[in-house]
Amino acid sequence: MGAEQKNTVDQNRINRILERQETRMKMYLSHCVHCSLCAESCFLYMSNNRDPKYMPSYKVINSLGKMYRKKGKIRMELLEDMKEIVWKSCVLCQRCYCPVGVDIPAMISLARSVCRSQGVFPGFDEAGNMESWL
């Protein structure tokens, strides 16, 4: 949990962040044909015994995809659920290859921006070190 954790979300702020890239992100979401090719190039997917939760397409559908589907009407509990996906299950290394040009890291990055705007991000331990996710 981030240090600035709040109990309620700022709906307007979330919508402003989502709207800025809405056309591009919705195009990516609609272009994904769920072929799973990107998964083979994601080291987190490969190093976690091909756990479907680490598939790039799963990660965007269950983070940014949900944010757009819900038209930004997101509860804090849902953002907390997404925290693991956007911070732990992706390191934005940009290695995932998509033949139709879906930019997975850009999508995860935007989902992180939404989470961060609401105080949802990895916390720090007593020594001030960032919570380790890997």
Position among 64, 104, 114, 120 found at the interface with ligand SF4 (CB under 6 A): 104
By CB under 6 A, what part of segment 17-46 binds ligand SF4?
A: 32-38, 41-42, 44
Cα 91–Cα 95–Cα 97 angle in degrees, nearest 5: 130
Interior/surface letters 63-85, b for 16+ CB within 10 angstroms, e for the rest: bbbbbeeeebebeeebbeebbeb
By CB under 6 A, what part of segment 41-100 binds ligand SF4?
A: 41-42, 44, 56-57, 90-96, 98-100
Nearest distance, CB of residue 73 and ligand SF4, angstroms = 25
Nearest to 45 by CA among 37, 57, 53: 53
Interacting residue ranges for ligand SF4, rule: CB under 6 A: 32-38, 41-42, 44, 56-57, 90-96, 98-100, 102, 104-105
